[in-house]
Amino acid sequence: MAATASTLMGSPWLRIRLLPEVPPRLLLRPHLHRRTFSARAAAAADGGAGGAGPVRVRFAPSPTGNLHVGGARTALFNYLFARSKGGKFVLRIEDTDLERSTKKSEEAVLSDLAWLGLDWDEGPDVGGEFGPYRQSERNSLYKQHAEKLMESGAVYRCFCSNEELEQMKETAKQRQLPPVYMGKWATASDAEVEQELEKGTPYTYRFRVPKEGSLKINDLIRGEVSWNLDTLGDFVIMRSNGQPVYNFCVTVDDATMHISHVIRAEEHLPNTLRQALIYKALGFPMPSFAHVSLILAPDRSKLSKRHGATSVGQYKEMGYLPQAMVNYLALLGWGDGTENEFFTIDDLVEKFTINRVNKSGAVFDAVKLKWMNGQHLRSFPPDVLIKSFEDRWKDAGILQESESGFAKEAAELLKDGIDLITDADAALSNLLSYPLHATLSSDEAKPVVQDKLYEVVSGLISAYDSGELGEALAEGRDGWQKWVKNFGKSLKRKGKSLFMPLRVLLTGKLHGPDMGGTVVLIHKAGTCGAVTDQSGFVNLDERFRVLKEMDWESQRKEQESPAETAELSFVP
């Protein structure tokens, strides 16, 4: 034990105090059970290794499903901490749940991490000095350390049946006590153990927990956390089928892989007590711990599938950018102390510190994530953004090969309203469409209709039939601006009373991007040959045919007659 204490206290980033000191030989006596334990672990405030060796962190997913955004954030914080400290980021697969773990899930998790740009230094696919990196391939290591604990007296064989264990739980419940192990095998004689071994009775390895004492750790996020040992009871580290239990695997893995900092979700905080006891018994120095709060849904419950998309793969399929996901996930519980919210991954590596991670839960806001995706999308170099939109529109069958420059103009016009690359299809299709009848029939259009819309229609049709409007649009935005100014003067209209009617009549909509750019692009779509027949495009000739077929005279009479109160109707 003296050697153990020396090992623990020799780490510059960990100071642990043991009171009282237990003589080494006592651990070899399986009958002794009333040990006391008091430990206090502390780490540097900034989470650094303090000269004790390189920073080594790990992300250890279970390949039993998709990578949840909460897991992705944990991986990100580990990655940023390692990179900011010049350390190593280790990927370990915790696949001891043999029934639920699948190779497909493992591949999906690795693919999602790679998509996010979180490259790992060691892992199942790249190897490393401390492999293997799948728990299912490390069984011999677990058995080796379990036998070491058995030899030291830190664990014992427990032959209790499931029925006996259930009875203990029921008894504890009736007495209103913690459900701790109360079986006889902690103090059984060698003869009793040999008798069960000869009969072939199945047994587990159960860890001896001191009956008195406490454990305190200085969590890098949550501050001081403590537990009383009398609520724990002896716990299993190896099942009767020879399979190790999670807490034992994790401790052995983290210790033998020289993990310096364990950054994980707060739901693992209760596991720290069992793991600390195992560290101490095996003589391993404990790492620093940092437990990150859960990601919450808008109703502040734990984020789950019932709240919508929760996996990284889902967001990837929906068209989100990895840069935006990384940026947004970093802000769920962390900030650099400024108002800035836009970060590249290099920015995050430079600015990330563990002591700025908030211990309260962070709410996942899908609306803000989408907004942030738009910010990153529009930060692309112009030629990259245009090419992305153009490829998308061609794949969707909206555009075809053309040297007209139509895609460039469309991208520049529409980009501010597109937050997801997958929204580009709908944005262009909407611009090319002409839902005039539906718009005029809506309640929102009533003020525009009632502002003598028929008057604008008459002048607009005349301008188109004379070729005046077409010539202006052929000159681009400058031509449009000159024409619309003169048109407004001829009708004695300006501002909203001029532009709202023109938007409705020419685009068929009440809202949209810059109207001049829109109308010029609609004109170009009808002449450049870039738009496909199946795009749903309605050209200007067709739009004016619709306008001419509508009964504007009836509308004029209804508005000019004070006695008329009937709803205006627009039918050909």
What CA–CA distances, in Å, run from 27 to 32, 172, 205, 281, 503?
8, 28, 16, 9, 86
Q: Which amino acid is at 266?
A: E
Residues labelled catalytic: 305
> In 318-467, where does DSSP find H-type helix?
322-330, 345-351, 366-378, 382-395, 406-414, 424-432, 436-440, 446-450, 453-465
Rounded Cα distance, 94 and 132, in Å: 11
CA–CA distance, 22 with 30 (Å, rounded to integer): 14
How many whole angstroms separate alpha carbon 376 and alpha carbon 321?
8
Beta-bridge partners for 205: 157, 238
Q: Which helix (H) or strand (E) holds 353?
A: none
Q: How many CA atoms lie within 13 A of 125 on its CB side?
A: 11
CB 32 within 8 A of CB 26: yes
Chain-centre distance of CA 481, in angstroms?
Answer: 46
The phi, psi pair for 59, rounded to 5°, reads -120, 130
Name the E strands within 54-93: 56-59, 88-91
Angstrom distances, CA of residue 108 to CA of 61, 66, 113, 159, 323:
11, 7, 9, 40, 19
Is the Cβ–Cβ distance between 389 and 424 less than 8 Å? Answer: yes
Can you tell me the distance from the alpha carbon of 555 to that of 454, in angstroms, rounded to the nearest whole number?
A: 7
Rounded to an integer, what distance in angstroms lies between the CA atom of residue 12 and that of residue 29? 33
Q: Which residue has the tokens 């459900």?
A: 179
- Structure tokens given for 14: 């960990």
**Cα separation, 426 vs 424, whole angstroms:** 6
